A and B are shown apart, each in its own frame.
Chain A
Amino acid sequence: MFRRVKHWGPGLLLLAPTIILVGVFVYWLIFENFRVSLTNQHTAKPSNKYVGFENYTNLLADPNFQHSLWNLLILTVVFLSGTLIFGFLWAWILDKPAKGEGFFRAVYLFPMSVSFIASGVVWRWLLSSLQTDQPGGERTTGLNRLLDSVGLGFMQNDWWSNPTWGIAAIAVPAIWQLSGYVMALFLAGFRGIPEELREAARIDGCSEWKLYRYVIFPQLNPVMLSAVIIIGHMSLKLFDLIRAIVPDANTYDVQVPATMMWVKYIGSDYADAAAIGMILLVLVAIVVIPYLMYTSRAEKR
């Protein structure tokens, strides 16, 4: 026994600072946050009166919060499908050896290195909602102006200033920024498929479509899963981009739980802010925990 402790004791000791830091800053704070979310601390004045799950039931009954959940759903669906489509398409085209491949890859990936706050500055301008055929339309700028001047004026729209679908416009810059990432994941996936596998399928007379359907796609499943998890959890947490594009944090059209939590925090409604944080955590956990269990089991095999 003593020998074994001597064997792994030093490792545990080296890991101790991290275990303590993560223990406090992740797990203990989540617990604390849960505790605050059960109190009635709705003003800056400290209050520790417990009200059970009242904050949660109130939030879930609040039309504003319901709308933020709806927005989050739309955002995630559009963001995910956009990045998967572009990411896959680019990787598929660039997978075959091509001249200048490195250049294209670098261009597609570069938006990833820029902050949402910086890209938000230009997307705010691009997605400005004024349209040329509206009153004051001569002041139109951004994509609407571009569409108008290339003869696609009918495609002009109010982008994010729309209560039902406005949030989908926020997904446009997010897709612009992260499709390159998904491309990089898929490229690694494509390169991981042994050439013999494709050859064998071709020799067996597999058509190009069948080759993809039965050989390539199944091999790409793990990559696809990683992409969905990464983009999905980014989407659930998306905050910076919305703040950069829409000046007022409390804008109904593009409200998501992450921005609503900020609004509650600014208004010193700590209990509600904590409750929204918990709801976000549960949503992320539903996505991430099965994934973590899956990867740690896959590793053991």
Chain B
Amino acid sequence: MLDIAVGSYGEVPEHPVHRSMAPRGADVAPDTVDMGYILNAKTDVWSDNVVELYEEAVARQWSATRDIPWGELQELPDDVEHAMCQLCTVLTEVEMIAADLPAKWMWRMSHDFIEAKMFLCMQIMDEARHAEVFRKRALSNGGGLLISRTAPTDVEKRILRMCMQDEARHVAYGTMHLRYAIEKDPDVAEEIHEALDHGESVLIDFGSAPDISSALAMLLPGGADDIEKKGFPLAQKLSKKQLTSYLARCERAGISRPERTTIPLDLLGIDPESIRPAGVAT
């Protein structure tokens, strides 16, 4: 895609002049049907790394059947298997949501932003594969789906590592899209802040729900015996790392959250200064 983004074919318009299904760069007849797209500004969808990320996504596709050594899956103690199945249940849920959301926007986006649409297609495929792999894991070892970073064996480790590669790519697009949008129109920052206010509230509720937090605390030390002494402290350490990382990415995107967030930074031991890396333009 990078190689063919030449001349007028490679020029992504800020505001496409038509809303047809014609591919960017083609001649468009005057009576071409209007598709009614509502995302017709480049700032709505673009990020400067989206073409590179699309290529990366294509190159790094994997199979939830072929690339996971299912034959090496070991029988686990009941408590650990139960916790793993709970974690897989939750992950299956959220992966399908993560597929639904980009799908909801894709058909509303101008075809002139084809690279961004193609990237979202890959994201949807990635999320479908994640839902598949977690569902398979939940059902493959005597457990099952339960009430709707941690891994007991190398099979689960490989599953999570492969998924992490995909998710990091999605985050890279999201971060740079927000940055692009804010650079072009600083007024959207407040809208994004409001969405994050809501999202963080959901994140805190989700992360502290007993089904997922207990499953993680069980898996981290490898069973129920050390859940109080090691499991919950390790789970809190992971939360701190996760939220610090999230806030640092917000900074990178140009959305500074420490003064606004309701995440209990003090309680989690997060120093706001530690998430403001040098050289970040805000």
Do A and B originate from a single complex? no
A binding-site residues for B, Cβ under 8 Å: none
B binding-site residues for A, Cβ under 8 Å: none
